[in-house]
Amino acid sequence: MPTALVTGASRGLGAVFADRLARRGIDLVLVARDRAGLERTAATVRGHGAVAEVLVADLADPAARAAVELRLSDADRPVDMLVNNAGFEVSDEFVNSELRDLQTQIDTNISAVMSLTHSALPGMIARGSGSVINVASFAGYLPSPGSSYASTKAWVLAFTDTMAASLAGSGVGMIALCPGRMLTGKHKAPDSPSPLWLEPTTVVEQCLRDLGRGRTLCTPGWIYRTVVGTLEMPRRSLRAAAKLAGRGRTQQRPKADAQGDTQSFTRSPSLNGVA
């Protein structure tokens, strides 16, 4: 069976990703700092008949992160899907935050996403199949004043946007998941139902559907989707104009292979069958 590696899998959205992927017959590599939480998620995965491998690691620690990078680059145990879900949020405004907390936020939300993706992509490209899901946030579009967390999620959105364009025709897909408020237990839920609050299972299923359709951005919830669609409209127009001018970002570019030769990716937006 195919294998997916999910970071931040001990609880919340990461645990939901693990559950839904296991239901689809996908084996899991579960990564987080909390071993007890990982074991709970692993039990759920195994209950669906899938294999669950537990890998305890603090992704803000370069040495611990290296073990996850090694697992992703292991050609003998290929990972078909990477879900960069782990996140760290400094809730205080920037000027009131501790510098060490801000650095942990960058290491978790930016450095880990970059390094894990860098470890996973070469093998996926060589195999001609695979997918990467980067969990961003609606805050990356409309941040609250002084939010350093929102800045890191804006980076995730920009990173996914450019990397997905460079992967066109490789058989590897990449998508940014941009959810708003979710009922994960992290925040106090509203007393009455509200379209601003999303069910994690619905968020994950929408993301997997959009990934399978070859999309590069998933914004669950009609309110969030409407706002993001409006904000993205100028960018879409610029891309359309660039494509008409023959300068689109998905145009073929020579790529160097392991022997130093060059090759070009085709433009077919194929994805593997994982999603």
Partnered with residue 263 across adjacent β-strands are 255
Which residue, 179, 131, 120, is CA-closest to 153?
Answer: 179
Band of pLDDT at residue 2, cut at 50, 70 and 90: very high
Which position among 17, 88, 138, 149 bears the catalytic label? 149
What percent of the chain stands above pLDDT 70? Answer: 83
Identify whether the C-beta of residue 184 lies closer than 8 Å to the C-beta of residue 163: no
Band of pLDDT at residue 251, cut at 50, 70 and 90: low
Partnered with residue 16 across adjacent β-strands are none
Q: Is the pLDDT of residue 204 over 90?
A: yes
Band of pLDDT at residue 189, cut at 50, 70 and 90: low
The confidence score (pLDDT) of residue 223 equals 82
Question: How many Cα neighbours within 13 Å face the side chain of 268?
Answer: 6
Structure tokens at 268: 């077919």
The confidence score (pLDDT) of residue 248 equals 58
The confidence score (pLDDT) of residue 8 equals 97
Token pair 């990972």 is found at: 79
The confidence score (pLDDT) of residue 190 equals 56
Q: Is the pLDDT of residue 156 over 50?
A: yes
Band of pLDDT at residue 226, cut at 50, 70 and 90: confident
The confidence score (pLDDT) of residue 167 equals 95
Mean pLDDT of 180-188: 64
Structure tokens at 13: 């959205």
Helix, strand, coil: what percent of the chain each, to 5? 45, 15, 40
Give yes or no: 224 in active site: no
The confidence score (pLDDT) of residue 46 equals 98
Identify whether the C-beta of residue 91 lies closer than 8 Å to the C-beta of residue 145: no
Band of pLDDT at residue 112, cut at 50, 70 and 90: very high
The confidence score (pLDDT) of residue 180 equals 77
The confidence score (pLDDT) of residue 140 equals 85
pTM of the model: 0.83
User: What is the pLDDT of the chain when averaged over all its residues?
Assistant: 86
Identify whether the C-beta of residue 62 lies closer than 8 Å to the C-beta of residue 39: no
Coil/strand/helix, residue 46: helix
Among the ranges 208-217, 219-228, 247-256, which has the highest mean pLDDT value? 208-217
Which residue, 3, 83, 78, is CA-closest to 45?
Answer: 3
Q: Is the pLDDT of residue 249 over 60?
A: no
Mean pLDDT of 8-34: 97
Identify whether the C-beta of residue 176 lies closer than 8 Å to the C-beta of residue 161: yes
The confidence score (pLDDT) of residue 238 equals 75
Question: How many Cα neighbours within 13 Å face the side chain of 254?
Answer: 4
Q: Give Cα 29 distance to the centre of its chain.
A: 15
How far is it, in rounded angstroms, from Cα 45 to Cα 153?
28
Tell me which of 123 and 232 has the higher pLDDT.
Answer: 123
Band of pLDDT at residue 30, cut at 50, 70 and 90: very high
pLDDT in tens, 162-179: 999 999 999 999 999 998
Task: State which H helix or E strand residue 271 sits in.
Answer: none
Band of pLDDT at residue 259, cut at 50, 70 and 90: very low
For the chain, list the domains and their CATH numbers: 3-264 (3.40.50.720)
The amino acid occupying position 139 is: A
How far is it, in rounded angstroms, from Cα 68 to Cα 57?
8
pLDDT in tens, 59-92: 999 999 999 999 999 999 999 999 999 999 998 9
